[in-house]
Every structure is written in structure tokens, then in C-alpha cells.
């Protein structure tokens, strides 16, 4: 069975696809794989938002519930996660509602991870977030 260019050399496939698009040679495109890659890019952006939001919420919880252990690395993690989310939302404003829609799911994961990482009982961390999505994303907010 012959492998397609997509299977043999992904980078070359990307280069050729970009060329064909730029030249308007749409009938020559590998549409099936192009659609898969575009859908994958969207999913990747959503996964990145979820990952950064979970880390942000984890460190906000640790900051709030372990004040004696606050560190520069927690603070920089909070800042870096916020900026990474903001950058993605600036580049793709339609992702802003996605942040809001996964906030509670990400909080649940952050709550479990906070209990694991701190050794504190999970019941210490409220089941509902002690801050809003707006607060969590605000560069001026620290609980």
C-alpha cells in the first residue's frame, strides 16, 4: 500500500498544502487530512486553555490555603498561566466563552491536585470556587 505524502513527510505535506492554497489550486488539496489538521488545531487550543486554567487555579488555591508556603514560583506560575490564557483569547476571542464553560471542570481538577500536592484534606478546599473566573484571570488578583 502506497503511503500518502501526509503519511511519509508531514512537514513537506504542510509546505505543499500551503503552496496549493496560496496558488488557488484547491482541487489538488488533500482535503481529508487538511480538515483533520484544522480540527486538531482547534482542539489543541482548547486543551491548552484547560491546562493553563487548571494550573492557574491550582496555584491560586495553594496561595490561598498555604500562606506560609507562598513562593515566587507559585506567583510566577499564576502570572504565566494568566498570560498564556490571555494570549490565546486575544488571538482567538471566540475561546473566551470556552474558558468560562470549563472553569468548574478545571476547578474540580485543581482542587483534587491541590489536596494531593499540599497533603491537606480535600474538604479544606471548597467544592465551589472561592473566586470567579474574572478574578482568576485578573492580573491584580491574589486570594
The 10s digit of each residue's pLDDT in 10-19 is 999 999 999 9
92 has pLDDT over 70: yes
4 has pLDDT over 90: no
* Cell numbers found for residue 133: 473566573
Residue 94 lies in a domain: yes
Domain that holds residue 99: 43-137
Q: Where do runs of H (alpha helix) occur along the chain?
A: 5-8, 10-23, 31-65, 72-91, 96-118, 133-137
1 has pLDDT over 80: no
Residue 29 lies in a domain: no
Percentage of residues of the chain with pLDDT beyond 70: 99
Mean pLDDT, rounded, for 95-117: 97
Split into its structural domains, the chain has a count of 1
Residue 58 lies in a domain: yes
Residue 33 lies in a domain: no
The 10s digit of each residue's pLDDT in 26-65 is 999 999 999 999 888 889 999 999 999 999 999 999 999 9
Residue 61 lies in a domain: yes
Q: How far is CA 62 from CA 95, 118, 142, in A?
A: 26, 8, 11
Residue 88 lies in a domain: yes
Percentage of residues of the chain with pLDDT beyond 90: 90
Query: Across all residues in the chain, what is the average pLDDT?
Result: 94
Amino acid at each position: 500500500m502506497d503511503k500518502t505524502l501526509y503519511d511519509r513527510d508531514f512537514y513537506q505535506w504542510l509546505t505543499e498544502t500551503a503552496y496549493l492554497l496560496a496558488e488557488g489550486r484547491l482541487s489538488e488539496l488533500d482535503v481529508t487530512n487538511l480538515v483533520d489538521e484544522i480540527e486538531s488545531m482547534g482542539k489543541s487550543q482548547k486543551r491548552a486553555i484547560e491546562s493553563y486554567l487548571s494550573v492557574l487555579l491550582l496555584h491560586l488555591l495553594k496561595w490561598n490555603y498555604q500562606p506560609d508556603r507562598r513562593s515566587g514560583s507559585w506567583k510566577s506560575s499564576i502570572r504565566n498561566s494568566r498570560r498564556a490564557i490571555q494570549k490565546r483569547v486575544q488571538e482567538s476571542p471566540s475561546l473566551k466563552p470556552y474558558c468560562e464553560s470549563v472553569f468548574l471542570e478545571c476547578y474540580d481538577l485543581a482542587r483534587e491536585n491541590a489536596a494531593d500536592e499540599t497533603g491537606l484534606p480535600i474538604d479544606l478546599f471548597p467544592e465551589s470556587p472561592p473566586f470567579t473566573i474574572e478574578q482568576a484571570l485578573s492580573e491584580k488578583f491574589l486570594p
